[in-house]
Structure 1
Amino acid sequence: MYDIPFTLLFSLLSILSAYAFFDVAGRIVLKRGYLFLLWIACGAIATGTGIWSVYFIGMLTFHLPVSMAFNLLMIFLAMFTAIAGTGAALFILVQHSFTYSLLFTSALCLGTTMVSMHQAIIAAMNTQIIIHHNYTLLVLSFCIAVLFSFVALHIVFSKHKKISDTSTLRKLAGSGLLGLAILGMHYTAMASTTFITADNTTVPFILNHSLLASCVGIMSLMIALLTIAGAFLDRCYVIQLQYIFDTLDVSLWTRDIQNDQMITCSPGTEKVYGIPAEAFMKDKRLWKQLIYPGDEAFIKETETNLLAGKPATREYRIIDGNGKVKWLHERIIPTTDRTGTLLRFDGVTLDITQRKLAEQTVREERNFSQAILDTTEALIVVVDIQGRIVQFNRACEALSGYSFAEVLHQPFWETRLFENLDNQDMRTIFHNTLSGCFTPRTEQYWRTKHGTRRLISWNLSLIRNTHGSITHIMGAGIDITELRLTEELLRKSEKLSVAGQLAAGVAHEIRNPLTTLKGFLQLLYDSAEEKFYFDIMLKELHRIESITSEFLLLAKPEAMNFQAKNVISLLDDVVSLAATQAIMKNITIITDYALDIGVIYCEENRLKQVFIHLLQNAMEAMPNSGEITLQARMADERHVLISIKDQGYGIEPERLAKLGEPFYTTKEKGTGLGLMISYKIIESHEGTIKVESNVGKGTSVHVLLPAHPLTSVKK
């Protein structure tokens, strides 16, 4: 006989175990990879343990007149049989292809598990009682288990394409039938079993193992309830995911490669493609018909990578169901099995049309701004708050010789552009600018890539974001090198004009009394016995007269008669005139003339005056003898370059810049008029004078004059 409370207990256990079986089956089909195996294991343990406990409790609650024990190894073998058989039934049931044969196979697996486990528990009984079986009833118990299991599975799953779609009501009905299968099989199998004592008399069931049965029952209940609770929580999580899946404005889809069909396609597909998701489920190649003409080659290339098992991210255009052109961003991940066979594609597709339009607008604005920056003549340099150059327009490239790529993202203090400032000074200026302590307008020399110096006038400004924080510093510059040179020329011209007016007045006032003094001094000279002092006075008067002549020449240059003259002949005459003074000072004049020099168009005497003056300056700079080199060559097809190089003590840089200014001289007794007049004569010949000097090494004067057209003809 069975105890009624325990009968109710294992009846409840059988129903809970059956419900756990169906509930877990609905969760398993939604899982992939290791989660799939994990849920099968959980379902097998919960259901298998529940079925095993039903049979074990049933055996424990029988009453036999003899002591009863169980073989633990066989008990655990029975439990393992229940878990393994239930796991196999679950694995068969959750396959993607749903058929009646699959239901029957799963039911057959469950029935076999029940019978095998029941017999294992019977075999585990350790007693002196002899056990006989009625095989007809035993086969009937097996049939009951398989039939009720099949009906339960059919009720729960046969009306749904997906196991996960099964309703709770159907699962409860199926649980009741599967519970009846468990109980029916147990009672029928027990009815087929006869227990006989040693004297061949049948005995009633009197053994009582209530405490053990209670423990096993409670344990099994806990396992079943925990499994059902886990399935419930997982279902809540899946419901949330499903809500997201249904409400997202993106297309989430899965394509089965083996069966060449779409498995899932989210409702957001209609918002992306303008076509309902059901249409894509029916025609998996529908999306290819929407591809914008010209993007097909790109799509085909990514398809090749996908078929090779490589993930792909792509952006392409389509013409949606409403005739609108859209940009889509798509991420596709292929799934393969252990052998590398491609199983499916999982993809997410987003409509990025608005982003593309925004990018195009930004790009157009950037191109517009860049066009303005590149066409303006102003120098535009922009640095970020780390001092790195982020903008360097074409005017900067043209002037500096550096390309934007060469200076991009370089701290501007590490470039070679800024002259006379080291890195620390530039960093200090930069940090002062960021703090607001700076002068908006400043001038700074640039050293170009080719080594030239350019004076730049900068106007600095700070660029701030919407929060008022400084993000960049912009400098707008203008090359004022030529402007400064022009200003310098104007300044010198004004000086020359003033000097000329002054010279004319001084010469006029000095010349008349000077003539009187010379006349009377000449009369006294003839009657004087001691003429030494008279010679000195006459010499100084001649010097004063020479200076006044230079004053008059400066104030009102004489008209010059330009003629074609041979450069070498002109220079040889100058060397002949200066040779005597050079010999007296132990100075050697070395001439170096190129063979291709022709003629120049000039006023010969004026040019001789210039070169004689330059040679005299060179000799005066070498009091301790030395060499002077006089070179002449063609600078280019249209210009002759004449250079005079000495080995004197040189001129300091600060003095070098003032040469040619009125009354400025480096000599103790000089007037500063000789070099100024030389500059004026060369300018009247449309030439230039350039002076280079190194202190302690000497000075070089380069005179550049235009060549006569006959020179080019001659060449």
Structure 2
Amino acid sequence: MRLTGFARFLPTRSLRNRLMLTSLVVVALPIAIVGVVLEREGRQALVTEKQDKLFALTRILDADLGPGFDALLADLPSGWSDHDAAVRHLNARLAVLTDRLAAADPGVGVGYYSRRLDAIVTYGPSRDYGATVGQPIKSDHPGRRVMETGQPRVEVGALVRGPIMNAMLPIVRGGETIGYIWANEFSDAIERQQRRIDEAVILSSIGGLVLAFLIIWIMSRRLSRDVEVIVEGLEVMKTDLHRPIPHLRDELGGVVVAINAMAKALLDARSLTENILTSIADGVVAVDREGRVTAINPAAEMLYEIRAGDALGRLYCEVFAGCPTESLLLGTLDNGRPRVSVTIDYLRGDEVLKVDASSSVLRDGDGNQIGAVVVLKDVTERHRLMGQVMRADRLAALGELTAGIAHEIRNPLTSIRGFVQYLDDCETIEEWRQYGPLIIRQVDSLNRIIGELLAFGRPRPPQIGKVKLDVIVEETTFLTRGKSGARIELDLDRSVPEIEADGEALKQALLNLVINAIQAIPETGTVVVSTRSDGEGNAVIRVIDDGVGVDPENLDKVFDPFFSTKPTGTGLGLAMVHRIVDAHHGVITIESRPGAGTTVTVRLPFAQPEPEALP
């Protein structure tokens, strides 16, 4: 179970309780592990120490034995032949050694065993175990394995003396095992010592836990008190950033300093933002994800003629009666698409205001949408001034247009007048027949000029529909083939989608551009017509020629009415193209260098914009 799972069983799930529980677990676990390790290591150390001590006693007895049993029996007339006499003789010689060694370490039993006699020679202390002298060990006694293998051995269990730890050392003389020496101690004595070790470890662990609990309790109390100060201060800051958290010590003091600094920075930023919103002349209105007004500055109050107290917290459509569903602000809130510099008409009382509106999405620090905001600028006066400037420009253009018309009509009229004066004095019908067609051509020229002028001055509104640019280009360029030595090449992107446009008007505009490109090529050359998508919602048409080009000083005039560099041109063709592109909310540009050709680029939106509603 995770630590947080234990916290559910605490009386209160406070930071202090969780901290105490966590600290106790963190402290208790190492103490328990150390206690177990110490207990096991202590037991093992005790056993090892006992074994080392017992083997040390056997090595002493082995050294005291000297050359072996044969040397001790040398002064016995019967030697090895008399079993009982040999046992008594060896016991008399060796019992002194075993009893002295047993007396030096009470509770220890030591002795010799003769393999040849198959009997216990001595067992000290003799007063306790003298009765075992002369007796053989059992057939399954571990001492026999020691004599067979010649390897020392420690055995714990019930042997001759009872339940003991018995260390047995083989007696090797001349490469032959002649018996073994033992030193043993009762198991219950060893177990008592092991229990004392266990008790010491347990008492030490409990003492450590109690001491750790006291320290943790004191430290957690102090820490929780400091944390409560921070929590209470943060609660106050939710509504009042002017009240800092009281100063604390240690690391939490640094945290408090950082929090107070951030609160001051936030207060300064909020004050700066409020001052900016209050001071700017543009209106600002913000709504949350439900469309409720969350902010409105004085400029917006003046524009909407409403007080902030009557708007904040209410739905946008409730505040502004009759709010259309296609509102710029609510549209951005729904689809997340920002709108920039959209000029709309806003009805306020009896007057209609021109308002420049821009809307965008509001996001939090994680990038999640939390609302939308619209910035409103009253441009009514600017539009009025622009209207005056446009009227002045139209009057100036009208003057230029009038001068151009007068110039274009005067030349044919002068020719007609001259021919008529000449024919007035003619006496033969042949001269009338000779100059009559000339007069008719001049009249046709006047009629053509008037027709183009009427088409330019009274354009029909575009008939918008879905059209394919590649089809328009192919049909238009087909009409121009064979009119000169120029070669027409098509570079069409078939993936360009359909656009909303007037197909016939586009044909007329494209035809003018291609004819101009052909006429700019003296003899032979190439005209390339391409279609592309610019990736920004526009279709692009380019007409490129390698003709004579346009002088830099004439580039700004090519779209002016009655401006033409061709001897027979009227100067209305490119002006008509410009008007058609404008009617489609498109853009036309021209790039040219004398002798290097000309590139005309037309950008048309895929979809025609819809009339904007109120913000």
Task: Please state which band the TM-score falls in when normalised by the shorter chain.
Answer: 0.3 to 0.5
Structure 1 length normalisation: TM-score?
0.29
